[in-house]
Structures are given as C-alpha cells and as structure tokens.
A and B are shown apart, each in its own frame.
Chain A
Amino acid sequence: MDIQITGLRRTFGKVTALDGLDLAVPGGMYGLLGTNGAGKTTLMRVLAGVLPPTAGTVRVGGHDLTTRTGRLAVQRRLGYLPQDLGLYPDLSAQEFLDYVGLLKGLDDTAARRRQIGELLDMVGLTDAVGRKLRGFSGGMRRRVGIAQALLGDPALVVVDEPTAGLDPEERIRFRTLLASIAAGRTVLLSTHIVEDVAQTCRDTAVMARGRVVFNGPVADIVQRAEGITWELVGQGPPPAGGVVVSAVSRSDGTHYRLVSPTRPDPRAVPVQPSLEEGYVALMHAGTSA
C-alpha cells in the first residue's frame, strides 16, 4: 500500500510535532530517519490511525485516514509496532498473539493458530511460546512485538524504533528480519540510527522538526556532505565552526572528522564523507536554514 501525505500538521497544545509534512512512499522497505523529537512517532501514530491529524491529508492505499471508514480499512491491513510497546505480563507469547489476532479480526481459530506458530518460528521464539511474557528479555519482547505486527499478513507495516536498546547482534538480526518481510508490502522503519536504514532500505526520508528534509535513495544522503567534510589532526580542543563527527586519539594527536561549509582550519583536508556525515550535513543545513 502506498502512502501519500500532504501538508500534515499535528500539534499538542503549543508544541508542533508535525509541521506541514509532505511525503510519498511507494512501497517496499522505507526508512524514516530523524533525531529524537523530530516527529517520527507522531507521524507513525497518525499513519496507524491512532492520532487524528490537526490538518493535512493522509492517504494510505487510496484510503483517507481522516474518515472513519478509511481509517478502519487501513487498520484492517496494518501491522504496527509502537515505540516502547508493552505486553500483558501474565499472558504467554502464544496467548498474547492469539488475543491480538482476535482483535485484528482473525476469527478462524485454526488459521490463526497456524499463523501464530509460523510467526513465532520466524522470530525464533518457538521454545518460549508457553512462558509468561513477564520473564521475557528486551530482545524477546521486541520479537513478540514484530510478530503481533505481522499477524494477519498486513500490507502496511509500521515499526517505530524497533532496534533501540537492543545489543548490536540483536539489532542486526532484527533489522535483517524486517528487510526479509518487505517483499510485497510497505514497511516503514523509523529509527535514529543511520546504520539501520543504510543496511536495509534503498530509500529513506529524513525528518527534522516535524518536516521531511530529505527523501530519496539512502546513498544520496552521502552527497550532502561532499566537499564539506574535513579531516584534521590536532592537539588541544576541537576546532570551532563545524560539527565534529568523530574524534580519535592517536599517538600523533587527535584525528577529527567534521562537517563544515567552510574549511575550519588551514590544516584541514577535504575527505570522502560517510553516510553518517551526510546525515549530519543534512541536519546541520536544516538548522542554519
């Protein structure tokens, strides 16, 4: 299901979380990058039909999310993994999924059970099906979270910071799992970790202050830092007038890499930027604009 958003605004009292956002997502696995507070969660809650927009239009698969029928039509084909999803501590993984399946309208008991079995297998929780959720680790809980999102074979899967707080190995496993389910559906993955998007999505949107500041191939983000990424070896404090991306202390001094529209120091040499530096350049351009 494709997503078409124009002029989307959402305010909370005086706080503007989404500020006239435009975004078109065609399908497949799509990244949504942005720092904390950029508005990713708010956007995803709007897409999940949880929050009504203050203004603007949101269409998912042609359905208008601001109408009741449109919202229900989308919710029937939606898989949503909210940020910080909690679970009922006194249910087992099997029971929790069964409950969510019922609430999603999967009324055929045999089909529901079969699907739950397949999903638990896919997320590697087969051995823990009968255990109470209260004893699950963070990674296991996240896997239950993605399993519930995938119940009912949704056409749109919205996952909000699913890798936050996972150890590196688990994070890699989790994002690979997400990429593997993207065939034939739209998967919108929000994260503040550039690497998650770089390893799984061809295209991404970057959000800052409630707007989309970049939308396109992930590789193009690197271009934003070309010609403005510098390396500099120095003693003493980092040079002023730029955003320091890395600082590695070696025997000959501290190796700084920084993003700066102008040469920050006569000794600085231009270098080929990384994706992260492209992202920093993007964010920085937004701030000074």
Chain B
Amino acid sequence: MTTARQTWAVTRYEFRMQIRKRSLWITTAVLAVVLTLTQGDRGPRHLPLGTPPREVMAGWALLMSILLPIGFGMVLADRLTRDRRLGLASLLESLPTGRGALVAGKYLGGLASTAVPAALVLLTAAAAETAHRHDPALFAWAVVAFALITLPGLAFVTAFALVCPLLTTAPLFRVLFVGYWFWGNMLNPDLFPSLTGTLLTPLGDYPATWLMGERALYAGADGWLEFLRPQPGGTTTVLAIALLLLLSLPPLALAPPLLRRRNLSA
C-alpha cells in the first residue's frame, strides 16, 4: 500500500519537526505550571488523602484540559498553511504523494506531537501525587484519564486547528479559537447559550464526570440544545468521545481540496 506508506512517512516527519519546536514545549510547560499553581480548592492537589486514584487523575486530566488544548491549537494552526509560506507547496504538489496522504500524515503527526507533551504532563502529575499519596495505581489511572479525557479532545482540536486556517488565516484562527474554547467549554450555559456542558465539549467534561463520580464542570447541566445534555455516565462518555472523533472527520475530508485551492493560487 503506497498511500499507507506515504502517510506514515508524512506522520513521522511531521511529528519530528513539530516535537523539535521549542514553542511547543514552552507553551506546554508554562500552561501546566500556571494551571497547577492556580487550581482552586476543588483542584486535584487539594483532594483529601484517601481519595480514589481514579478521581485524582481524572481531576488532573480535566485541569490540564482547561488551557493546554488552547496552546496546542495555536501551535498547530500553521501546519497545513506553512508549506506554502515556506515555499514548498509547488514541490509537494509535484510529488507522486496525494494530498490525502499528506493531510492524514499531518493530522496523525500533529496529534502525536501534542499527545506526547500532554501525556508527559499527566505522568509528571502522577509522579508528584504518588510521592504524596503512595499509590502506584495513580499511574494506571493517569493513562486511563489521558485516553478518555485528554486524547479525544486533542483529536478534535488537531483536526480543526489544521484545517480552519486554510479558510481564514492562522493568526485569525488563533483568536477565534481562544474565543470558541471558553464559549464551548467553560462559559456557564445558564448565563448565555453555549456548548458548555454538552456532549460536544472537547474539554472532556463527560468522561471526567464519569471517572470522578460527580459533575466535573457542567456536563449535563441545563441549557441550550437540551438534547445534547444527557445524564453523564458510562454510555454518554462513550457517546461524547465518539462524537468528538466523528466531528474531526469533516474538516479532514475538506482539507485536500482546500489545500489544492490554496496551493494553486501560489
């Protein structure tokens, strides 16, 4: 399968280029430190000793999801547009690798390059909590929390951060994205119609609520689009994750023709 091999090649190189970017690591470190230091009384650091490790690590994953994806969205915003800016669009168009493989590879490589620092942050949190709570199960729950809370949101954010700048520009997308992140994840749906608390929150509200056994942020809270706000639980967690992954597909499907249009006008 040539296409699969080419997708894998793009994935590897995209990951390699991205993971070397100092801005990725600085953004991750700064946001993680800020979130750790400013967490309120409900933050995972203040959970009493004896709290199940599942709740502790779900708390950390949720806490990091408040801001880390914003940083990742910013860093990823130029990944599809930059080939043209760098003067590589014509060469890439002339190679016998299709735009589909290119987009898929950039998606997978971009996702991997944000998943690695995000996972490292959670493992660091697990290490710190282990020193404090002496429970090795914290590491296992860090992995579960990462898979259920962090990763689906990153998959969603990566797709939109790659493709939306093809419709606008990378700087404009960054501004809009910050606005969306707060409106769609954290703005109290009681105050203003928002997606906060629905199944469509990439923050991981539903999975976190399920793991913590109590409402994490707003999951299922009354508000706009009532049908998207079922009672949080195991089934709705699966549903929320499936919806996020499903929603990542349309932008990815649109990307090859958008890329073509953009490269042609080079």
Cα(A139)–Cα(B1), bound, Å: 37
Are A49 and B91 closer than 8 Å at their CB atoms? no
Q: Which of B54-109 contact A (CB under 8 A)?
A: 86-88, 90-97
Q: On chain A, which size bracket covers the interface?
A: 20 to 34
A279 to chain B, nearest CB (A): 27
Are A45 and B9 closer than 8 Å at their CB atoms? no
B211 to chain A, nearest CB (A): 38
B21 touches A (CB below 8 Å): yes
- CB contacts between A and B, total, < 8 Å: 70
Binds A, one of B12-20, B166-174, B223-231: B12-20
The residues of B that contact A289 with a CB separation of less than 8 Å are none
A201 touches B (CB below 8 Å): no
The residues of A that contact B9 with a CB separation of less than 8 Å are 99, 102-103
Q: Is the interface of B mostly helix, strand, loop or mixed?
A: helix
Are B17 and A90 closer than 8 Å at their CB atoms? yes
A289 to chain B, nearest CB (A): 32
B264 touches A (CB below 8 Å): yes
Are B90 and A103 closer than 8 Å at their CB atoms? no
Residues of chain B at interface, number, CB under 8 A: 23
B216 to chain A, nearest CB (A): 38
Are B264 and A51 closer than 8 Å at their CB atoms? yes
Q: Which of B232-266 contact A (CB under 8 A)?
A: 263-264
Are B94 and A84 closer than 8 Å at their CB atoms? no
Binds B, one of A14-22, A75-83, A122-130: A75-83
Given the known A-B contacts A72-B96, A75-B96, A107-B5, are A95 and B16 also in contact in the complex, defined by CB atoms under 8 Å?
A: yes
Of the residues B6, B17, B91, B264, contact of A82 by C-beta under 8 Å? B91
The residues of B that contact A89 with a CB separation of less than 8 Å are 86
A186 touches B (CB below 8 Å): no
Are B90 and A82 closer than 8 Å at their CB atoms? yes
Are B94 and A75 closer than 8 Å at their CB atoms? yes
Q: Which of A71-117 contact B (CB under 8 A)?
A: 72, 75-76, 78, 80, 82, 84-91, 95, 99-100, 102-105, 107
Of the residues B2, B17, B90, contact of A48 by C-beta under 8 Å? B90
B10 touches A (CB below 8 Å): yes
Of the residues A87, A90, A105, contact of B6 by C-beta under 8 Å? A105
Are B13 and A86 closer than 8 Å at their CB atoms? no
Cα(A115)–Cα(B91), bound, Å: 19
A116 to chain B, nearest CB (A): 14
Given the known A-B contacts A76-B96, A103-B95, are A95 and B13 also in contact in the complex, defined by CB atoms under 8 Å?
A: yes
Q: Which of B1-41 contact A (CB under 8 A)?
A: 2, 5-6, 9-10, 13, 16-17, 20-21
The residues of A that contact B96 with a CB separation of less than 8 Å are 72, 75-76, 103-105
Residue of A76, A87, A103, A107 with highest tally of chain B CB at under 10 A: A103
The residues of A that contact B87 with a CB separation of less than 8 Å are 82, 84-86
Cα(A7)–Cα(B114), bound, Å: 50
Cα(A72)–Cα(B2), bound, Å: 13
Task: Give the 3 A-B CB pairs with smallest separation, nearest first.
Answer: A86-B87, A102-B9, A86-B86
Q: Can you list 20 pairs linking A and B with CB atoms under 8 Å apart?
A: A49-B93, A50-B263, A72-B96, A76-B96, A78-B94, A84-B87, A85-B88, A85-B90, A86-B87, A89-B86, A99-B13, A100-B95, A102-B9, A102-B13, A103-B6, A103-B9, A103-B97, A104-B95, A105-B96, A107-B5
Chain B residues packing against A (C-beta within 8 Å): 2, 5-6, 9-10, 13, 16-17, 20-21, 86-88, 90-97, 263-264
Chain A residues packing against B (C-beta within 8 Å): 45, 48-51, 72, 75-76, 78, 80, 82, 84-91, 95, 99-100, 102-105, 107, 148
